[in-house]
Structure 1
Amino acid sequence: MEKKSYDSFQIGETASFSKTITESDVSNYAGITGDFNPVHIDQEYAKDSFFKDRIVHGMLSAGLISAVLGTKLPGPGAIYLSQDLKFKKPVKINDTLTARVEVIDKKPGKNILELNTSCFNQNDIEVLTGNAEVMINT
């Protein structure tokens, strides 16, 4: 992975990363974070919930944004400064998510990029949206 200079980033530049969220991903995430909310891990409980099925942890879905930031845009050396999120739709196990980031502003002198961040499911439905700031470590 090639490290880019701050000046080489352009407003409107985009990158994405896709992954199918598996049962194992949800179990591992619960174990790592300690979030064993039954709506994520217990089918019997979840079938009586608002969603009528288990849903993926929201922050697991949002974690795919970090994959884009650390590997593609801006890429290696990026420092994740902030993120706001709005969870718009539930994500189910075996959904394929695509995290997408777009450069929407630059803060020269600080080496900071402002990014629009979003995730879409396999039906191209936006499941989360937000904005992030990253610093380019040059």
Structure 2
Amino acid sequence: MSEENNLTGTKVMVIDDSNTIRRSAEIFLLKSGCEVILAEDGFDAMAKITDYQPDIIFVDIMMPRLDGYQTTMLIKKNPRFKHTPVIMLSSKDGLFDRARGRMVGSDEYLTKPFTKDSLLEAVRKHTTARSGA
């Protein structure tokens, strides 16, 4: 249990049009001490990202209006967030999808349904790498 608590205070944004995915990610992250910002799609995320300045962002690929690729590209083009880790979430696990995610600047690719462990491991990996710990 104590190793989960090392995420205390980490600000995590979850962008997904599925309420179920947002809620399960939120529950996993809150239990490990993270602050969670939820967004329903890319537009919602872009409105919140400047206010909350998350440490790490999970973004679903298949969303209405702005998809995950467009959202990631917008985040990475912003000088303030260019170094913020962005992890793509998708039920598609194809090579093309992964490559396209890399092309727009994503740092990792998690396949849905994700587990609590894979979600927290991604947060741990990308936030400790940034802080130099």
Normalising by the residue count of structure 2, what TM-score does the alignment of the two structures yield? 0.22
Higher helix share: 2
Q: Quick one: higher RCO (CA 8 Å, sep 6+), 1 or 2?
A: 1
